[in-house]
Amino acid sequence: MQPLVESVFYWSDLFGTAVFAFSGVLVAGRLRMDGFGVIVLAAVTAIGGGTIRDLIIGADNVFWTVDSLYLWVILVTALLGQYIAKLPRRLPWYILPLADAFGLAIFTIIGTDKALSYGTSGMVAVVMGVITGVAGGMIRDVLAREVPMVLQREIYATACIFGGVLYTGSLALGITPLLATLLGMSGTFILRVAAIRWHLSLPAFSLNR
């Protein structure tokens, strides 16, 4: 991948890290946690999925241990986020969901691609992409003593699966990595935004008759 493209993806990844960290800040604020609790929830949401992925695939190093800028982004987001969340003039409601969908798309493709680079099969790579995208939020929700959103009816992990399959399938068909990346990201982003816009959800499993 060209250096310019790699640079764009790197800064997009940091943007996604900040967005996910801010979602952790909001949950911590709703639960009236102290400053340390805010930082913990911000951190696990932002880098929890990528950490689990790197440990599973046997990466040489967990990504944030060799690039501390991720930690600085989380810390700054946690500190500023506590102030931003209290501002009387709020952002339009759709800004954070759109930013979250973009971050989800970035995380999914980065996770899938990194797994492929370590020699996993396409199916395993898709799973790693899903873990990268959703595991941090699951840890956040567990710490907040809530049922993780991804385990309910939200089309969230499903969007990751769709994007990951598009990406790995495109590569298998010989499509260039850049185009495959754009297809995978677009698939994740569009499906997630469509679910938000039209309130799409998966059917719920219930034993009640």
Q: What pLDDT digit, counting tens, does each position of 125-139 carry?
A: 999 999 999 999 999
Mean pLDDT, residues 66-79 taken together: 98
Residue type, 203: P
Examine residue 203 and state whether it is found in any structural domain, yes or no: no
pLDDT confidence band for 114 (50 / 70 / 90): very high
Structural domain count of the chain: 1
The pLDDT score that the predictor gives to residue 205 is: 81
Query: From the CA atom positions of the chain, what is the Rg in Å?
Result: 17
- 8 Å CB contact between 99 and 145: no
- Residue 175 one-letter amino acid: I
* For residue 106, pLDDT beyond 70: yes
Reported pTM = 0.95
Give the separation between CA 88 and CA 76, rounded to whole angstroms. 21
State how far the Cα of 125 lies from the Cα of 160, in Å rounded to an integer.
Answer: 11
Question: Domain for residue 165, yes or no?
Answer: yes
> What residue has token string 């009236």?
32
Within a domain: residue 106? yes
Contact 160/166 with Cβ under 8 angstroms? no
88-98: b or e for each residue (b if 16 or more CB lie within 10 Å)?
Answer: eeeeeeeeeee
Give the 3-state secondary structure of residue 142: helix
Backbone angles phi, psi at 93, to 5 degrees: -60, -30
Closest CA to 99 of 46, 43, 27: 46
14-22: average pLDDT: 97
DSSP string, 41-75: HHHHHHHHHHHHHHHHHT-SS-HHHH-THHHHHHH
Domain of residue 61, residue span: 3-198
Residue recorded with tokens 């930013």 = 99
pLDDT category, 2, cuts 50, 70, 90?
Answer: low
What is the rounded CA–CA span in Å between residue 78 and residue 200?
Answer: 31
Question: Is there a domain that residue 207 lies in?
Answer: no
Q: What's the CA gap between 181 and 184, in Å, rounded?
A: 5
**3-state SS class at 124:** helix
Q: Is residue 123 domain-resident?
A: yes
Confidence of residue 198 (pLDDT cuts 50, 70, 90): very high
pLDDT tens digits, 49-59: 999 999 999 99
